Amino acid sequence: MTKIMIACTAVTLSFAALLSSASAQDWRPSRAVDLIVPSGAGGGHDNNARILASVMEKYAGQPINVINQPAGAGVVAYNEMRNAEPDGQTVGQVSVSIVSDQFRIEGVDYNKDSYAYIGQISADQNVLVVTADGPYGDMDITQFLAAAKDAADPIAFGVSGNWTNHDYTRYQIEQAADVSFLRVPIKGGAQIVLSMLSGDVQVGALYPSEIKSQVDAGALKPLAHNGTEPLAAWPDVPSFTSLGLPVNLAIWRALVLPKETPEDIRAGWESILEQTMNDPAVKEGYATAGIGYAYLNSTDTVALVDEAETAYRTISEEAGVTREAQ
């Protein structure tokens, strides 16, 4: 009889655990969700969010409103994400700036430990591009770097603000190839593209989604990228790594919740994201927009973020990056 009671108790506890797990994963938002994006409309961040939200609504069971908040170079958005009610009705989309902002922007007090992670949603490369009809349009990456090294005046390199991804990639290229560029701060990837087309700057390092239409139209020419896998849109474009140049900073985006969000809500969002990322519509939308598909669960995303903080801290110290007001 005792053995039977113990067995029944074990079965009961096991069943209760399964119900608890299922209940957590079954959590869904009760009304429309705000997805805060730390950029304006039209850039890589925004494109990613809108593709994701259009599919994620199906699994969340509620409309998902993309809220663009570019103020303060994304700082306002990150603070809004952190300070939102932890009820699952507000989600944030973050990038590597969640770890690099603390090194480059005055007054930032958030870091990788300020949020609860739902999962990674994409991975992009920075692609070094020049204008196709400009002075470097007929060169490959080796010829371009040689020209940059021999130039009487440094080639103008467009970067977005104060030490964003563009800048970190520029710094890695300079260190790896022993060249120096003229750093030209411009607000946002879309504006860098316009500055290149108008001739104000000659080169930039941008996300595929920010340059795809201009590359496809023949206005811009990609020379190399900082990823480890071939570019989906332009598989013949070499990586810097394949050329023996250590230009390889990981660039990713992820979804987060306020740190205090309860476990059942976190689990619910993790389930929603997993279903969304496995939906073929996301992969098709990413491919069309030039966004790199990459999905990691919450645990693996935390490890990814930890590695990124170490990498960006190291470069920030080596390059002498200073915190500036936005």
Cα separations in angstroms, 131 against 11, 13, 199, 201, 326: 67, 65, 8, 9, 30
Q: How far is 187 from 320, CA to CA, in rounded Å?
A: 22
On whether both 63 and 113 belong to a single domain, the answer is yes
pLDDT in tens, 249-304: 878 999 999 999 999 999 999 999 999 999 999 999 998 888 889 999 999 999 99
pLDDT at 136: 97
On whether both 109 and 94 belong to a single domain, the answer is yes
Q: How far is 27 from 20, CA to CA, in rounded Å?
A: 11
Residue showing tokens 């990981």: 250
pLDDT at 25: 61
Average pLDDT, the chain: 90
pLDDT at 61: 97
Pairing relation of β-strands 220-225 and 127-131? Answer: antiparallel
pLDDT for 14 beyond 60: no
pTM value is: 0.81
Residue 65: CB atoms within 10 A of its CB come to 12
Determine the 3-state secondary structure of 219 from DSSP: coil
On whether both 116 and 135 belong to a single domain, the answer is no
Order of strands across the sheet that contains 182-186:
182-186, 156-160, 203-206, 127-131, 220-225
Q: How far is 57 from 272, CA to CA, in rounded Å?
A: 9
Confidence tier at 239 by pLDDT (50, 70, 90):
very high
On whether both 29 and 132 belong to a single domain, the answer is no
Q: Which of 318, 316, 319 is nearest to 105 (CA)?
A: 316
Residue 107 maps to which CATH number? 3.40.190.150
Per the structure, the count of domains in the chain is 2
Q: Which domain holds residue 263?
A: 24-122+253-319
pLDDT at 11: 44
Contact (CB, 8 A) for 277 and 121: yes
On whether both 165 and 195 belong to a single domain, the answer is yes
On whether both 171 and 220 belong to a single domain, the answer is yes
223 found inside a domain:
yes
Order of strands across the sheet that contains 90-95:
64-68, 33-37, 90-95, 251-258, 115-124, 293-296
On whether both 85 and 118 belong to a single domain, the answer is yes
Residue 204 maps to which CATH number? 3.40.190.10
